Amino acid sequence: MEDYILGTFFALLSGVIYFYVFRLKITKRQRNHKMKHEMIDSGYEIRSNLKNGECRPEEESDPDVIIVGAGVAGAALAFTLGKDGRRVHVIERDLSEPDRIVGELLQPGGYLKLIELGLEDCVENIDAQRVLGYALFKDGKRTKLSYPLEKFHSDVAGRSFHNGRFIQRMREKAATLPNVQLEQGTVTSLLEENGTIKGVQFKNKASQELKAYAPLTIVCDGCFSNLRRSLCNPMVDIPSCFVGLVLENCQLPFQNHGHVILADPSPILFYPISSTEMRCLVDIPGQKLPSLASGEMAKYLKTVVAPQVPPELHDAFVSAVNKGNIKTMPNRSMPAAPYPTPGALLMGDAFNMRHPLTGGGMTVALSDIVVLKNLLKPLHNLRDADSLCKYLESFYTLRKPVASTINTLAGALYKVFCASPDQARKEMRQACFDYLSLGGVCSTGPIALLSGLNPRPLSLVLHFFAVAIYGVGRLLVPFPSPKRLWLGARLIMGASGIIFPIMKAEGFRQVFFPATVPAYYRSPPVN
């Protein structure tokens, strides 16, 4: 039944999609081309090694790939390429264990990618916790949403953990390969010759200025990347900030589930990160936070947030606030807008970010690595930079089903879950909670999308508008009135205003019609 509805909805969407695609295609291409050359001409973050007539020949001792950054994406990629026989040089700013309040929840779809890459043992021996679904709370009501895992092996589930422990395990595993070199250093610039990236300039641990060369440089230096402007058009949005706390020795209302409280003004998250610790993330809209030093933050958490926390967690939450170990982090969103550049590639948060509400970042990164691994596998020689660049343009299209589904869902859900004085937005928020509470396909469909188990963008659009139509139906029962009809129309318009701009940023053509993108059919360059 869903396939018939999907086909009908697809036909209705086609006209709108083609309008956006063909109207924006030429202007977007011209703008990106112009911006790329402006940045290269200005020398922004790219340093040429031809300044003094130096022209360094390629050496057989050079690695095949330089990876900038050894976070989740960089460490996983280093192991993956090393296992495939590539010589890999990883340069990471700080090889000590990271301490972050995000990147702690791996969805089941991400765990399947971890298995595919041979890294599933990296969630062992770090006190990682199995996650089987979500619990949703609103106005004293609660509903449980389980992952649809019936068709998978019993080990397949989400995992939550300390981010630093997970990253260290992957770094250690990558370092066991003799052809992978991990080095602590800060990359300061990319080295360019005639428009081709030849390597990087960096400072090592002893503050020595060094250069490293490879036919392919992959930039994975995270959300704070200082190299991305050379390789993409970064349009970073910061819709909110997370305030992080650790609750100790308490029990969640639903064991082995992430908890999402639809609070005012925006969601609150709880999930386990070890057998004795629960992570709490309080979302605060905007970029201005109450002061930590003056005590305004603690006061805000106690007076505004604590009354909205489930009773089972209230005392542990207040205790965590009193301990004062409060951390903050801005939530960034950035659609992928790369400049195909010979000799270089962007990956991870340096390349593409979404609101971390749904915990989809690591799933996208690991999925991207699987795509890149399969693309590079038939290539024995990476030194034909121009041919390799044209071939790897298909990466940006092949990654879209998983990446765009998770990105769009994260952005749309965050906007729906935030409180709003607008009555139509209130109705949409309530409709979303009630729709997910219906069970059956109304809960398993969206949760399969969120978990990365069903990367189908059209299914996402279908469920999103099903929520809106369900909301309109609630308004018109038992008796429609002009006021309710107008509110229903505003609800539909509001839903369109949420999802279509996000999908436009993702690229309608690449998401819905990938086979029409020329790069989709590109075959590996002939060695």
Asked whether the bond before 267 is cis by omega within 30 degrees of 0, the reply is no
pLDDT digits (tens, 9 = 90+) for 92-101: 999 999 999 9
First to last CA, the chain: 48
pTM of the predicted structure, to 2 decimals = 0.88
Query: Does residue 522 surpass a pLDDT of 90?
Result: no
- Tell me the pLDDT band of 4, cut-offs 50, 70 and 90: very low
> Average pLDDT in the 362-368 region?
97
pLDDT digits (tens, 9 = 90+) for 227-272: 999 899 899 999 999 999 999 989 999 999 999 999 999 999 999 9
Pairwise CA distance, residues 399 & 395, whole Å: 6
Query: Looking at this protein, which amino acid is placed at residue 431?
Result: A
Q: What is the dihedral of CA 238, 499, 17, 231, to 10 degrees?
A: 20
**Start and end residues for every CATH 3.50.50.60 domain found in the chain:** 65-126+161-235+335-383
* CB contact set of 149 (below 8 Å; sequence gap of 6+): 108, 132, 156, 157
Pairwise CA distance, residues 56 & 213, whole Å: 9
Reference 161, options 172, 152, 153, 170; nearest CA is 170
Which pLDDT score, from 0 to 100, does residue 59 have?
63
Query: Does residue 19 surpass a pLDDT of 50?
Result: no
The encoded tokens of residue 510 equal: 């690449």
Reference 425, options 236, 242, 266; nearest CA is 266
pLDDT digits (tens, 9 = 90+) for 227-238: 999 899 899 999
The string over 185-216, giving b where at least 16 C-beta atoms fall within 10 Å of a residue's C-beta and e elsewhere, is bbbebbbbbebebbbbebbeeeeeeeebbbbb
CATH number of 65-126+161-235+335-383: 3.50.50.60
Pairwise CA distance, residues 47 & 89, whole Å: 20
pLDDT digits (tens, 9 = 90+) for 367-416: 999 999 999 999 988 999 999 999 999 999 999 999 999 999 999 999 99
The encoded tokens of residue 491 equal: 């609800």
Residue 59 · residue 155 · CB < 8 Å = no
Pairwise CA distance, residues 403 & 361, whole Å: 9
Asked whether the bond before 478 is cis by omega within 30 degrees of 0, the reply is yes
Query: Looking at this protein, which amino acid is placed at residue 229?
Result: R
- Identify the weakest region by mean pLDDT among 442-451, 487-496, 514-523: 514-523
The per-residue DSSP string of 366-401 comes to HHHHHHHHHHHTT-S----HHHHHHHHHHHHHHTHH
Which strand (E) or helix (H) includes residue 330?
A: strand 327-333
Which pLDDT score, from 0 to 100, does residue 38 have?
44
Percent of the chain with pLDDT over 70: 88
> Average pLDDT in the 185-191 region?
97
Neighbours of 176 (CB within 10 A): 9
pLDDT mean across residues, the chain? 89
Rg of the chain over Cα atoms, rounded to whole angstroms, equals 24
The 3-class secondary structure across 167-224, one letter per residue, is HHHHHHHHHCCCCEEEEEEEEEEEEEECCEEEEEEEEECCCCEEEEECCEEEECCCCC
Residue 231 · residue 200 · CB < 8 Å = no
Query: Does residue 205 surpass a pLDDT of 60?
Result: yes
> Average pLDDT in the 154-171 region?
97
Reference 519, options 371, 297, 303; nearest CA is 371
Reference 403, options 512, 515, 516, 511; nearest CA is 511
Residue 160 · residue 129 · CB < 8 Å = yes
Which pLDDT score, from 0 to 100, does residue 280 have?
98
Neighbours of 377 (CB within 10 A): 11
Which pLDDT score, from 0 to 100, does residue 482 have?
92
Pairwise CA distance, residues 204 & 186, whole Å: 7
The encoded tokens of residue 17 equal: 């999609």
Pairwise CA distance, residues 421 & 501, whole Å: 21
Query: Does residue 174 surpass a pLDDT of 80?
Result: yes
The encoded tokens of residue 303 equal: 């007076």
Find where tokens 């107008």 sit.
Answer: 486
> Average pLDDT in the 273-287 region?
96
- Tell me the pLDDT band of 458, cut-offs 50, 70 and 90: very high
**Start and end residues for every CATH 3.30.70 domain found in the chain:** 237-333
As its CATH architecture, domain 237-333 has 2-Layer Sandwich (3.30)
411 burial class (0-12, 13-18, 19+ CB within 10 angstroms)? buried
Query: Looking at this protein, which amino acid is placed at residue 42?
Result: S
Which pLDDT score, from 0 to 100, does residue 57 have?
54
> Average pLDDT in the 442-459 region?
94
Query: Does residue 477 surpass a pLDDT of 80?
Result: yes
pLDDT digits (tens, 9 = 90+) for 410-441: 999 999 999 999 999 999 999 999 999 999 99
Query: Does residue 12 surpass a pLDDT of 50?
Result: no
Angle between helices 2-42 and 457-476 (to 10 degrees): 120
